[in-house]
Amino acid sequence: MVFCRWVSLIFLLHLFGALPTLSNSSLTTKELADIPVNFLTDAKRPELVDWMVGIRRKIHENPELGYEEFETSKLIRDELDKMGIPYKYPVAVTGIIGYIGTGGPPFVAIRADMDALAMQESVEWEHKSKVPGKMHACGHDAHVAMLLGAAKILQEYRDNLQGTVVLFFQPAEEGGGGAQNMIEAGALQNVDVIFGLHVSTDLPIGSVASRPGPTMAGSGFFEAVISGKGGHAAIPQHTIDPILAASNVIVSLQHLVSREADPLDSQVVTVAKFQGGGAFNVIPDAVTIGGTFRAFSKESFTQLRQRIEEVITGQAAVQRCSASVDFLTDTKPFFPVTVNSKDLHEYFQNVAGDMLGVHNLKVMPPLMGSEDFAFFSEVIPGYFFFLGMKNESSGSLGHPHSPYFRINEDALPYGAALHASLATRYLVEHQPKSQLAEGKVHDEL
């Protein structure tokens, strides 16, 4: 692990008393708690908004897929260097972990994902993707810009922070298990809680949506090769038709949800890939199918995985075919269920309500989509919420993972301010008084 030179410097400064701790702060606890109230005003300053917009557009023009975010990572590190924020790099290939504050407890993390998707952008605008076949179609460019915006705000108040804000710039959210690899690299060491957000094209700008408990489904991928015996379409009796077998497999997989799952226990099996044959009059030797499966509990997810394999192999055998099933866990790890801490839900409601008004707090229904933030919230208390972008003047913003997806950049200040406020107020409300009084500092940096 390569450490930014600032990490060592900030720790040495703590050791020799050159950086302020809570005991040196001229602000009272009440005054410190009131600071986040102004963060939205800070985030809406024209110069900060323009800066975040510029960052977002640079990233959007140059999208990079999971674990390939080298230029995106360099841009982020350059901005952190300009702000004087220490960081670790690389973490999980291209990831970055930044630190703002005392270097001591409590530690609160705020996270943004960095990767783009393999699709061609269809939105015509000045800052369209310059890379054929790649685009930011899920808002990760905006997520990075908002986290950097929060970092700039927090760095202005760094002398008054009562702990450490940890900035997670995460690679490979789109199926690559970037969060899991960051955890394995030690990213969560000493971190108490973590917050993450995702932009939403359905929510009004200035509003947020969330819920306590299970929020987004666990998900996994599967791919199966169904093998038979090819031949001429005019003499099917001399063949073993894998297309017919695959068709029966697909129908039977749908019965797992409609006839085996509790109707009150949400599950989804989708076959979205079917490849076989290249001629109108030739039955192929093999067919490949693939898709995803999703559930809202570990038990249901495990059961669904087992039954998918049994159905594919069993139904193929009925049609005299053989089948091999691969769950692709080496390249596409299973995503756990995203679970929001119930304690953090109450905390989030208070922070977001104070900033946006309680009328702008929406209750989000459970979603069958998945999010690899779930890896973090499996290990420590986590909280994930959605940030609105929709307004009348923005027109249709498309939907995530659509080539017509757009960002309403007016939402950037809201995300930056919420990140900064969630982190700052958590530090104020969870300071370990005994350690702060003694001036102790963790040495994990």
- Per DSSP, the three-state class of 39 is helix
pLDDT (0 to 100) of residue 23: 32
Tokens 């939205």 belong to which residue? 40
Residues forming the annotated binding site? 138, 140, 174, 198, 401
5-216+337-438, superfamily in CATH? Zn peptidases (3.40.630.10)
Q: Are 206 and 43 in contact (CB under 8 A)?
A: no
What pLDDT was estimated at residue 38?
Answer: 83
5-216+337-438 and 218-326: same fold?
no
Res 31: pLDDT? 65
Count how many Cα atoms sit within 13 Å of the Cα of residue 31 in the half-sphere of its side chain.
7
Question: Binding site for Mn(2+): what residues are annotated?
Answer: 138, 140, 174, 198, 401
Measure CA 430 to chain center. Answer: 25
Residue 230 confidence (pLDDT): 98
Contact assessment for residue 169 and residue 189, using Cβ atoms and an 8 Å cutoff: no
Per-residue pLDDT of the chain (445 residues; tens, 9 = 90+): 444 433 333 332 332 233 333 333 455 656 666 677 689 999 999 999 999 999 999 999 999 999 999 999 999 999 999 999 999 999 999 999 999 999 999 999 999 999 999 999 999 999 999 999 999 999 999 999 999 999 999 999 999 998 999 999 999 999 899 999 999 999 999 999 999 999 999 999 999 999 999 999 999 999 999 999 999 999 999 999 999 999 999 999 999 999 999 999 999 999 999 999 999 999 999 999 999 999 999 999 999 999 999 999 999 999 999 999 999 998 889 999 999 999 999 999 999 999 999 999 999 999 999 999 999 999 999 999 999 999 988 788 999 999 999 999 999 999 999 999 999 999 999 987 554 444 444 444 5
| Domain positions in the chain | 5-216+337-438, 218-326
* Cα–Cα distance measured from residue 94 to residue 69, given in angstroms and rounded to the nearest whole number: 6
Nearest CA to 289 out of 241, 240, 323 is that of: 323
Cβ proximity of 211 and 366 under 8 Å: yes
Contacts of 12 (CB under 8 A, 6+ apart): none
Q: Let me know if domain 218-326 sits in CATH 3.30.70.360.
A: yes
Residue 379 pLDDT:
97
Residue 129, pLDDT score: 98
Nearby residues of 430 by Cβ (< 8 Å), 6 or more positions away? 106, 108, 163, 192
The SS3 of residue 196 is: strand
The SS3 of residue 321 is coil
Amino acid at 161: L
Q: Identify whether the C-beta of residue 353 lies closer than 8 Å to the C-beta of residue 40.
A: no
Say what the pLDDT of residue 394 is. Answer: 78
CA pair distance 369, 364, nearest whole angstrom: 13
DSSP code per residue over 386-441: EEEEE-GGG-----TTSTT----GGGHHHHHHHHHHHHHHHHHHT--HHHHHHT--
Residues whose CB falls within 8 Å of the CB of residue 91, separated by 6 or more in sequence, listed in order: 1, 97, 182, 185, 187
